[in-house]
Structure 1
Amino acid sequence: MFNSLTSLANPTDGDWGERLLNTVASKTIRYLFTHSESVEVFVKCHPSSKLLQGSIDSFKMNGRALVIRGDFQAEELSFETDAVVIDFSNVLRGKLTLKQPTQAIAQVTLSEAGINQAFQAELVKTRLQNLSLPALSDILGGEFVSFEAIQFKLLPNNGVRIFAQADLSNGEIVPISLSATISIERRRRLVFCNPKFEADTVPESQWKISQTLCAVLAEILDRMVDLDRFDLDGITMRINRLETQGKQLIFIGYAQIERIPSSSSPH
C-alpha cells in the first residue's frame, strides 16, 4: 500500500501531500456506500507542510449517485469540514483517522424516484405491514392493516402528496391520497404537517375509511423518518433546513464527525 500511494508523492511538488490525502480520503469514503458514481475529496492546506503535523484547513467531499445499505439512494451528497487534525502516519498506510472530532457543513439531495425506491426496502416495508390498530377495528372491519404501493410526489413550497393502498385484515383494499407539508423537528426528524385527505382518487364509498387511514399513515411516517436511525458509525447528522426543488428534496445542515467510520453498517 505504501509503495502504491507514494507513487503519487513527489517530494519536490508542493501539493504532493494534498494529492496523497485526496486519494486516501476518496477511497475511505467511497467504501461507506454500497455504490457510488463518483466520490471526490478536495483538501485545503496552506502551507502544505502542515500536513506532516496532521493539520488541515478543511476538506470538501462531493459524491454523486450514492447508494446506502443497498436501498437508500442520494443524488448528491457534499460536505466541507472545519479545521481537521488527522494522524498523518496512518495516511501513509492508506488509512484516514481523526485525532479530534470536527464539524462539517453538509447538503444532501434526494430525488423523488430515490425516495420512492426507498419504500421498497425491507427495512421500511416491515414498519408498514401487519400493523395492529385495535382502537380502529370497528371502522376497519379488522384489527390489522398493511400500507403498500406508497408513492411520493414532491410539490413546491416543501409540499408532498402521498398515494398508497391499505390492505385490511378483512380483505378490503382502500386507496389513500393525502397532501402535507414537510418540516423538521428537533433538527433530526422529518414531520408531515397538516395532513389533508385528498378525495379525488378515492371512491366516495371509501372516503370515511380512507380519511381515517390517511391520518394513521401520516403518524407512522412522522415516527419513521428520523436521522438518528441512519447515522453512520461516528457521524451524527442534523438538518437546519429543507426545501423541495422540482423533483428533488434538498437537506442542508451539518455533520458532527467523531471518527471516520469503516463501513455503512446500521446500528
Structure 2
Amino acid sequence: MISTVFGSLPFPNQGGDRVVSKVVTAAISALFKRSEQLEVNVRAEPVAKLLQGSVDGFDFIGKGLLMHSGLRVDAMELYVQAVAIDFGAIFTGKVKLKQPIQASMRVALSETDLTDSFNTPFLKEKLQKIRHQGQPLHFDATVFKINPDRSIRLTSNVRVGDSTAAIAVDITAQMEVENRKRINFVDVTCAGDPAGVELGEAVVQHLNGLLDLDQFALEGMQIRVDQLRLRHQQMMLYGVAHIDRFPDRKGK
C-alpha cells in the first residue's frame, strides 16, 4: 500500500522521505534566483508516518544563495524538528505546513556578499531613504570589510541630494544585535575631513534604525538572532527562524 502511494508521487520509484525531500528542496529553491548548492534531508521514521503528514524533522543546507533582490548569502543552514505537513499537497509538488515551525539557524555572509549587498539597487533604494540636512543620500562604490580585530570598516562615496560632488565616508565600528532582530553599529569612529566625519556619524545613526532583519528575511520567514560573530572575513549569525509557510513552486 505504501509503495503504491509513493509510486504515484511526482518522483516515482523513490522512498517517501526522499520524495518529500525533493519537494521541500523545490519549494525552498523558489526563494532564490540562483544557488551553488541546495539540499534538504527530510527525516521520518517509520516512513509510513508521512501518510499522516508527520515528519521528524528536516535539515536544510544551502551555499552561494542569490535572492531575487540581489542579496547573496554565502551559506545558510536550518535544522527543524517535528514538522506537520499537508501530505496531499505533495502530490502537486508543493509543501504546505499545518502549523508554523521553528528552525535552528546559521547564516554566513562573506565580505564580498556584504559589499555586493550594499551596492544592489534593492539596498541602495533603502539607503536613499536616509536624510541628511533634509536631503536624500546616494551611495556609490561602497565597500564592507571585516578587520582582524573583528571590527568592521564601511567606506563609501556619498552624494547629498542633487550635488554632483561625493563626500568620502569612512566608518569603523563594532557590530551587535539589539532585541534579537536589529543589527547596530557601536563604538563608532569616523575618519576623514570634517564633512566626511559629520556625514559618517549621520549615516551610522540612520543605519542603526534601518538594519532590521525582518526587512531582509525570506518569504514566510522571521529571523531572530542570538549571536553575531565576525571572523575569517565572514559575518556569522546564529539564532532561530520562524517559518509560517513555504512559497509556491515557481519558475523564477
Pairwise same-fold verdict (TM > 0.5): yes
Determine if contact 1:102/1:257 at 8 Å carries over to the other structure. Answer: yes
Q: Structure 2 unaligned runs (5+)?
A: 1-6
**Aligned equivalent of 2:180, options 171, 187, 204:** 187
Contact preservation (8 Å) 1:8, 1:20:
no
- Pair 1:260-2:246 in alignment: yes
- State the TM-score, normalized to the length of structure 1: 0.83
Which structure is larger by alpha-carbon Rg, 1 or 2?
A: 1
Q: CA RMSD in A?
A: 2.2
Give the Cα–Cα distance (whole angstroms) in 1 for the partners of residues 24 and 168 of structure 2: 48
| Alpha carbons 1:180, 1:195 under 8 Å: kept | yes
Structure 1 unmatched runs, 5+: 10-15, 136-142
Query: Which consecutive segments of 4 or more residues in structure 1 shift more than 6 A?
Result: none
The alignment covers a number of residue pairs equal to 243
- Structure 1 residues 78-110: Cα deviation after superposition (integer angstroms, max 9, x where no partner): 101120011112112211111111110011111
**Against the structure 1 CA distance between its residues 85 and 163, is the aligned structure 2 distance closer, same or farther, given a 3 Å change threshold?**
same
Q: In the alignment, residue 217 of structure 1 is paired with which amino acid?
A: V
Identity percentage over the alignment? 29
Q: CA deviation at 1:261?
A: 2.4
In the other structure, the counterpart of 1:90 is 89
Distance 1:232 1:263 in 2: 15
TM-superposed deviation, 1:134: 3.0
Match of 2:226 in 1: 240
User: Structure 1: how far apart are the matches of 2:123 and 2:197?
Assistant: 23
Q: Return the offset for 1:115.
A: 0.8
Residue 3 (structure 2) aligns with: none
130, 133, 151: which one aligns with 1:159: 151
**Equivalent residue letter for 1:186:** N
Matching residue within 190, 193, 205 for 1:197: 190
Map 1:1-267 to 2 at 5 A: 5-9=10-14, 16-129=15-128, 132-134=131-133, 145-156=137-148, 158-168=150-160, 171-198=164-191, 202=192, 207-262=193-248
Which whole-Å CA distance do the structure 1 matches of 2:221 and 2:205 have between them? 27
Superposed displacement of residue 144, structure 1? 5.8
Distance (Å, rounded) in 1 between the aligned partners of 2:77 and 2:129: 38
Task: Tell me the distance in 2 between the aligned counterparts of 1:52 and 1:24.
Answer: 15
CA contact (8 A) 2:27 2:249 kept: no
